[in-house]
Structure 1
Amino acid sequence: MSVRIEGTSAHAHRKAGERLLKTGAITFCCVLFGAAVAFGTTLVVSNTLGESGAGIFFQLVAYFAIATAVATFGADTGLVRTVSAALALGRQRIVGRVLATACIPVGAASLLVGGLLWLAADVQEVLPGGPDGWVSDGVRLAVLCLPASALLTAVFGALRGFHAVVTFTVLQNIVLPSLRLAGILLVLALGAGLTHLVTAWTVPILAAAVLGVVALRREMRRSRAGQTAGQTAGEPAGYMAGQTKDRMKAEGMETVRGFWAFSGARGASSVVEVLLEWVDVIAVFILLGPAAGGIYGAVSRCVRLGAMLDHSVRMVTGPVISSALATGDVASARQVFSAATRLLILGAWPFYLLLIIFGPAVMSVFGPGFESGAPALIIIGAAMLLSVSAGGVQSVLLMGGHSSWQLLNKTAALAVAVPLNLTLIPVWGIAGAATAWAAAVLVDCSLAAFQVGTVMKIAAPWRSLVLPAALALAVFGVGGLLARLHFGPSWEGLLVAAGVGAAVYAGALALLHRLGRITFRP
């Protein structure tokens, strides 16, 4: 009996690995497209509005992101974990109840948060900003779409829980950014002002929310019809099934109280996380003015291009890790985590190395004056090299049910970021903001890596990461420096380093994969 079960399990793992690799490739392509469109949107805004106008726009985006995180309060991650665990345990019948448990409070919270922002919008006029009430008008226009944004975030979490990662990725990274770019181009063509740009950026959320609800209803129908077998790695049987169902009940994942006990901790973490993401941009805007805020906002947008790979890996591996941990299969979770870490290094290191080496050329595309953000780009790029090397530790913490640990980590990072921003920005300018952000990211990442590796016993073997890191460093680090020495910090040098490096990199990866030295499959 045990031999048959082991063989079946091994076969299921191979099939799951193949599906994971295929889904990951599709997801990455979609994420890459979305990142390119979002970057293009930033280029259009910065080149049209200049440093000050872009600074105001980024400030409004920051407020909207923070408000959405407060209103959602971790329901999206709670849905990822609970729905995927329920499907893995064959408990599809509780999914509808879980969705109601999540979405009703989210809707109420979004109305409350939106109302408070509406009333507080005029307070923004005492801060550095644009004339004619641009900030307050922009906040009020954005508030109208806040309930749809919060609902969309929750729906995205449910889609990920159903393993509908491709559907979620298409909506988030193709439909939404494309509609935003089209709207902004239309507004600019009509000669409208900044407040209308904010409208063009927020209104597409309504369309994405409708499409998301339709997609979620389709997944629920498939689940009820018993058609989710191809999306899961297999259901536990016998003693393990009973054990994990009892665990699910014990943790209260099926109840309102249990769901929000997990999601509430994650919600607090989400709020702290989004504050960490935007506190430096807001601090630069307040302390140094809109122009510096626009430059630093452009820097943060560049860095987020690289973060898209980490985001896509999380989207694909999160539900798989949740299912594995729900059934007690720590070995499978460890294999998926190790493969994801290798992919992050192979994909993200080349990008950040080129940002560091050719920072002035990259920043010049945003318009005159933005080149002064290059030192900040170097600081943040270096921190991200270290951060991605830890792998998707945040996802493992969440899918393992340790949202309270993550909350403590994020709080510690925010406690580092706020005083450093207040201290360093007046002295070093935007380089001080970048230093504060880098320090906060490394604190958060170090704590999470320790918890995942030491307590949860999930870590990628260092020997499996040395070769990917060395390859990226040799091709894009050394190669990029040689290109800069020859061409200078110019776009010509960047294109040569990226083009030649990509060709050499792809050939080396193919050879090493053929020799069995680097594998991409869990």
Structure 2
Amino acid sequence: MTQTSTPQARRPSLARDRGRSVLGAVVSNVANVLVILVIARMLGVGAVGEYTLAFAVRAILLLVCGLGMRTAMTRFVAAHLATGDPGGLRGAVVLGVSVPVGVASVVALGWFVAADALATSVFDEPELATTMQVVALSLPFFVLVNVALAATQGFSSMQAYVWIGQVLEPGLRFALTLLLLLLGGGTVAAASALLAASVVSGIVALATLVRMVSTLPPAQRTYPGRALTSFAATSWVASMATQGLLWADVVILGALVSTEEVGVYQVAARVVLIGMFVITALNAAVSARIATAWVRGDIDAVDERYTGTILWSSRLTWPMLAGLVAVPTAVLQLFGAGFGDASTVVLILAVGAAAEVLGAPSAVLLNQIGRNGLNLVINVSSLVVNVGLNFALIPVYGINGAAFAWAFTMAVGAVVRVVTVRRVATGRWPWSRPLLVSLGAALAAALLAELVTDLLPANEWLRLAVAAVLVIGLYGSVVVLRGLSGAERDALSRAISLRLPQLRRWRVQRQLRHAGSNDASLRVDDLISPFRADVLARADLFRLAREHADLRVNDEPAFLRLARAGGYGAWFDEVLVHKGHVPGSDPAALERTFRSIVRSSLQLLDRQDRLGRESLGRVTVTRVPAGTEIDGWSLAEDRWVLVDGGHRVALALLDGVGTLTPAEYAVVNGQLPPNNTARLLESGRLAEEEAVQFLARGLVPLGDRDQVHRWRDLLDRLATPGNREVVEAWPEVRAASGAR
């Protein structure tokens, strides 16, 4: 296998970025909640209201000063990387960072000067002025953090965004807030902690972005001023409308009701945001990939990432909302006396939060495919409706009215966005059986938890614990048993078996007990081609072991380095690690895992050499019907495909065995094999000529295989002519050959 070093090959997997984003979101939301918690516990409801108002004004001004560059930075960096234009990327970054920070500096000065008037005339809270002035100083640095980290996301990596934006900034803010309040500070001290965290995070984010850009090839900087400005201007208005929906109710409440009521509402809203934290994280992880796929014209990849984000946002959000809906009072009372009355607010807001799992990914998709104008219309319309409802309902219903305005707007906006995405982008609805199972499981879990906790004594900690156990138990069981797709169930089984070898052996034995039989010998080439190129990578390990037997015995580290640099290392990196089948991401941990897998695999080689091939047992195969799509690939003919036993088949290949007898394999049904060939191609670790020669083993007559060196050769020499149309439709073939 070719060991090319490409940016795509080094790019973190989507699964890992999603996991990293969710982890960062957990840290960020916990830190944000803890900030509100310590202010509420140590300073009271009024202080929460003051802090929240200043924070809300900063959040709105962030959007004003950001000029739409957060969305633009991610898209333009991703697009320039996809088209190989480092000069345009550098120019976009310079404009996208310097202009918003400059505008923010001017706005911050104006806010600082006008703080007294705002506090007195608008919010009728004169003591709020100093808090606002301190928060105003943080605005330029907060803008810098956001635009710089958005640019790093364009590199299809969430590392900087997570560690700086979701761990460093909120973690430092909480630590400093707690320290200053313990030293006797008040709301101004909490605002000072916010300022310090923004300054540190802004400097670190800028340094990280500079380092990432410096790794690109040298090129004359060009400034895509018109295109960037046009895209950003539309995104600017759209993002202001989006965030306006999150903060308009707080600002309007501040003008119409007391800061104490604002504080109660903010705590209730923060509780609901706990249940929503994964939405932003998963959207951030997938946004650059949607832009890249759209630029390349791969609509299937756009739809896959869009629907996958909706599915996982739902799976992780709805059970948390179910727990909140079951025991809202118990959760609110963690913040202290005076907050329990906001349970109705939590119930109302949860409806909007549940709908946001559909609306937020749809908004991201529209932005990243360049249809941010549509997003603008939807967002501005939603904001107008939201503001109107707030002014109509708050005077009558107070914080409950604000909650209804937000929930109604979010639900309607989500429906409109989903319809729009179907019409202008994917042509499909995002619904799926796993999604509906997740919704049903969440509703059932919420109902069960509420019924049971109502029977318990009035101990809020007990109710919280029981509700958590019931929701996790019921929801998790239903989703695992009934809500996983076939591919997900297979991936879960493989991931568990790789971590627990004994469980893997038990699974294989169970498969064999329930497997069927066949009375025909199967050609090895047909079993592995086109889907299982990883078998050749495994054969590469066994070839190295025989060619370098002395090295394996006398210098295992050197042998492992040799294996890591070859096809086996490519399979480990791009299949096992990329797909999340091995634990951890630390390089040292991965090397230990690689060593363990190599040792286990070579035991098969040693066993065969001692006892013969019959000692290795049977492999499992399945019959894949014509037209069955496996990661974007399908065939126009039924095909026997290897499911489990790749190392054993690799040993057969190494020894020149061309067929498996009926005694050497068992038939399993209802299980699709992985398409590891597509993954190795996508990663860049399998060159085009190697790929088509491998595919020719199972798709081209024996006498023509020596003539196959390019995709066009493969298409012209297919043994089954009916396969030509489906092979041409493979994303890798379209991208490499221009076949239509």
Range of TM-score over shorter length: 0.7 to 0.9
The one of 440, 455, 463 equivalent to 2:409 is 440
Alignment counterpart, residue 170 of structure 1, candidates 139, 158, 163: 163
Q: Distance in 1 between matches of 2:360 and 2:53?
A: 30
CA offset at residue 107 of structure 1?
2.2
- Matched residues in 1 for 2:281 and 2:214: separation? 26
- Distance in 1 (alpha carbons) for counterparts of 2:260 and 2:360: 35
Q: Given the alignment of the two structures, is residue 188 of structure 1 paired with residue 181 of structure 2, yes or no?
A: yes
SS at match of 1:224: coil
Instruction: In structure 1, give the amino acid aligned to 2:58.
Output: F
Q: Is the 8 A contact 2:95 2:223 kept in 1?
A: no
Alignment match, 1:427: 396
Name which of structure 1's ranges 312-321 and 455-464 shifts more when overlaid on structure 2: 455-464
How far is the alpha carbon of 1:70 from its aligned partner? 0.8
Aligned partner of 1:79 in structure 2 is: 73
* Shift, 1:411, TM fit: 1.0
Partners of 2:474 and 2:321 in 1: CA distance: 17
- Correspondence for 2:248 among 275, 279, 282: 279
Change (3 A) 1:307 1:17: farther
Q: Secondary structure at the match of 1:487?
A: coil
Corresponding residue SS for 1:320? helix
- C-alpha displacement of 1:34: 1.5
Measured in 2, the distance between the counterparts of 1:487 and 1:129 equals 44
How far did residue 294 of structure 1 move? 0.5
Deviations 1:241-262 (A, max 9, x none): xxxxxxxxxxxx9611110100
Aligned Cα root-mean-square deviation (Å): 2.5
**Structure 1 residue 470: deviation in Å?**
2.0
Count of residue correspondences: 481
* 1:56-79 deviation digits (Å, cap 9, x = unpaired): 110000111111111112111101
Letter in 2 for 1:125: T
Q: Distance in 2 between matches of 1:345 and 1:126?
A: 43
2:43 aligned residue (25, 43, 49)? 49
Aligned 8 A contact 2:319 2:475 in 1: no
1:360, 1:371 within 8 Å by CA — same for their partners in 2? Answer: yes
Given that residues 486 and 493 in structure 1 are in contact (C-alpha distance below 8 angstroms), is that contact kept between their aligned partners in structure 2?
no
Q: In the alignment, does 2:87 pair up with 1:93?
A: yes
| Matching residue's letter, 2:190 | L
The answer to whether the Cα contact below 8 Å between 2:434 and 2:484 also exists between their aligned partners in 1 is no
- Give the counterpart letter for 1:308 in structure 2: F
Partner of residue 13, structure 2: 19
- 1:423-502 counterparts in 2 under 5 A? 423-457=392-426, 459-474=429-444, 476-487=445-456, 490-502=460-472
Q: Secondary structure at the match of 1:145?
A: helix
Q: Distance in 1 between matches of 2:105 and 2:484?
A: 55
TM-aligned CA deviation for residue 518 of structure 1: 5.3
For the structure 1 residues 449 and 181, does the alpha-carbon distance in structure 2 shift closer, same or farther, using more than 3 Å as the test?
Answer: same
Distance in 1 between residues matched to 2:93 and 2:339, nearest whole Å = 45
- 1:148 lines up with 2:118 in the alignment: no
Is 1:197 the equivalent of 2:190?
A: yes
Q: Indicate the residue corresponding to 1:6 in structure 2.
A: none
Per-residue deviation, residues 464-517 of structure 1 (Å, max 9, x unmatched): 42122223333x223322332322783322211212432444454444577728
Q: Which residue of 2 aligns with 1:138?
A: 131
Structure 2: distance between partners of 1:440 and 1:389: 13
Q: What is the match of residue 524 of structure 2?
A: none
- Name the counterpart of 1:230: none
Q: Contact 1:83 / 1:95 at 8 angstroms: preserved in 2?
A: yes
* Matched letter for residue 93 of structure 2: L
Alpha-carbon distance, 1:462 to partner? 3.6
The 1:426–1:264 alpha-carbon spacing in structure 2 relative to 1, beyond 3 Å, is same
- Cα distance in 1 for partners of 2:258, 2:457 equals 31
C-alpha separation between the residues in 1 aligned to 2:485 and 2:249?
45
Which residue of the partner structure matches residue 361 of structure 1?
Answer: 330
Q: Secondary structure at the match of 2:335?
A: coil
Q: Does the Cα contact within 8 Å between 1:56 and 1:129 map onto a contact in 2?
A: no
Cα offset, 1:344, TM superposition: 1.2
The 1-side partners of 2:11 and 2:282 are apart by: 14
Report the TM-score when normalising by structure 1.
0.87
Aligned to 2:703: none
Q: Is the 8 A contact 1:341 1:392 kept in 2?
A: yes
Residues 342-361 of structure 1: pairs in structure 2 closer than 5 A: 342-361=311-330
Q: For the Cα contact (< 8 Å) 1:342–1:465, is it kept in 2?
A: yes
CA contact 1:263–1:403 (8 Å) conserved in 2: no
Q: State the shift of 1:220 in Å.
A: 1.4
Of 34, 40, 44, which aligns to 2:34?
A: 40
Contact 1:340 1:391 survives alignment (8 Å):
no
1:117 paired residue number: 111
Distance, in Å, in 1 between the alignment partners of 2:91 and 2:319 is: 44
Given candidates 337, 344, 364, the residue that maps to 1:375 is: 344
Larger mean CA deviation between 50-59 and 210-219 belongs to 210-219
The change in CA–CA distance for 1:500 and 1:28 in structure 2 (over 3 A counts) is: same
Give yes or no for the alignment of 1:408 onto 2:402: no
Inter-partner Cα distance in structure 2 for 1:431 and 1:210: 40
Q: CA shift at 1:321, angstroms?
A: 0.5
What amino acid maps onto 1:345 in structure 2? S
Query: 1:126 is matched with which residue?
Result: 121
3-state SS of 1:392 partner: helix
- Stretch of structure 1 that moved more, 411-420 or 75-84: 411-420
Give 1:46's aligned amino acid: A
Residues 357-391 of structure 1, C-alpha deviation per residue, up to 9 Å, x if partnerless?
A: 21111111111111111101100102222332456
Whether the aligned pair in 1 keeps the contact of 2:327 and 2:450 (CA below 8 Å) is no
Distance 2:423 2:456 in 1: 46
Q: Deviations over 1:34-86 (max 9, x none)?
A: 21111111111112221111111100001111111111121111010010111
Contact 2:11 2:157 in 1 (8 A): no
Q: Decide whether aligned partners of structure 1 residues 107 and 78 sit closer, same or farther in structure 2, where only a CA change above 3 A counts.
A: same
Kept in 2: contact 1:73–1:271 (CA 8 A): no
Could you report, residue by residue, the CA deviation over 1:83-120 in whole angstroms, capped at 9, with x for unpaired residues?
01111122223211111121222122112211221232
Q: Which residue of 2 aligns with 1:219?
A: 212
Q: Could you say which residue in structure 2 is the equivalent of 1:289?
A: 258
Equivalent pair of 1:155/1:216 in contact (CA under 8 Å): yes
* SS of the residue 2:59 aligns to: helix
User: Are the structure 2 counterparts of residues 17 and 94 from structure 1 closer, same or farther at C-alpha, using a change threshold of 3 Å?
Assistant: closer
Distance 2:476 2:217 in 1: 43
3-state secondary structure, aligned to 1:298: helix
Partner of 1:315: 284
Are the equivalent residues in 2 in contact too, given 1:296–1:373 (CA < 8 A)?
A: yes
| One of 235, 239, 244 as aligned partner of 1:266 | 235
Larger radius of gyration: 2
> 1:473 is aligned with what amino acid?
L
- Shift in alpha-carbon separation, 1:99–1:515, aligned structure 2, 3 A: closer
Matches of 1:488 and 1:374, distance apart in 2: 19
Partner residue, 1:238 = none
Percent of residue pairs identical = 22
Query: Which stretch shifts more, 326-335 or 444-453?
Result: 444-453
Measured in 1, the distance between the counterparts of 2:291 and 2:469 equals 38
Give the direction of change, closer, same or farther, for the CA distance of 1:216–1:17 in structure 2 (3 Å limit).
closer
Q: Once the two structures are superposed, what CA deviation does each residue of 1:202-235 show, in whole Å capped at 9, x if it has no partner?
A: 2211111111112112211333389xxxxxxxxx
* C-alpha separation in 1, matches of 2:432 and 2:481: 21
Match of 2:664 in 1: none
Alignment partner, residue 234 of structure 1:
none
What amino acid maps onto 1:84 in structure 2? A
Unaligned runs of at least 5 residues, structure 1:
1-11, 227-252
1:73–1:270 CA contact under 8 A, matched in 2: no
Partner amino acid for 1:87?
L
Give the structure with the larger helix fraction. 1
**1:412, distance to aligned residue in structure 2 (A):** 0.7
Partner Cα separation in structure 2 for residue 47 and residue 134 of structure 1? 20
Is contact 2:434-2:485 (8 Å) kept? no
Distance 1:144 1:18, change over 3 A: closer
